[in-house]
Amino acid sequence: MQRLLSIVVLAFVSVCSLTPLAFGQSASDEEQIKALSDQLAQAYIKGDTSFWEKYLADDYMGVYASGQAYTKSESVQPGALKYESFDVREMKVRVYGNTAVVNQLTSATGTVRKDGKPFSGLYRTTRVWVKQNGNWRLVAFQSTQVPQPSQ
């Protein structure tokens, strides 16, 4: 009986470890996207446009909570958005083959370059990453401000 239980456990562990490969992804895709998300947060705070130049797809489109849409060329300009704070409170990463979807709840403050208006609050965001030629590229972004509770 003990031997049978050992065989069943070994078979289960083997199947679980091969599942990502069956769907065409490496076991580290989720970790890569999490690391890129951390780098993205640091790039926001530092105003580091080299991150955007490297990781935004040429056809990238970002739509911010203000309703403003940004292309890659607009996003890599210094100060497109100036962040004073960027704190990720929740993050969920889902990988589907060569596509990854990241949903976050983020607290952020800063200024919108296009109109100079300050922003502050909680934001629910969705980012879509696609692996192109073996490299992850950000292709889409959408942000929605979470309404403040009535007092």
Q: pLDDT tens, 45-93?
A: 898 889 989 999 999 999 988 888 989 988 777 666 788 999 999 999 9
> Would you say residue 132 has pLDDT above 90?
yes
Q: pLDDT tens, 4-19?
A: 334 333 333 343 444 4
Long-range own/partner contacts, residues 27-31 (CB < 8 A, 24 or more apart): 29/95, 29/100, 29/131, 30/93, 30/95, 30/100
The rounded mean pLDDT for the chain is 82
Banded pLDDT at 106 (limits 50, 70, 90): very high
Neighbours of 50 (CB within 10 A): 10
At residue 17, the pLDDT reads 41
At residue 80, the pLDDT reads 66
At residue 4, the pLDDT reads 39
Architecture in CATH of 29-145: Roll (3.10)
First to last CA, the chain: 63
At residue 21, the pLDDT reads 44
Spatial separation of the C-alpha atoms in residues 62 and 122, rounded to whole Å: 18
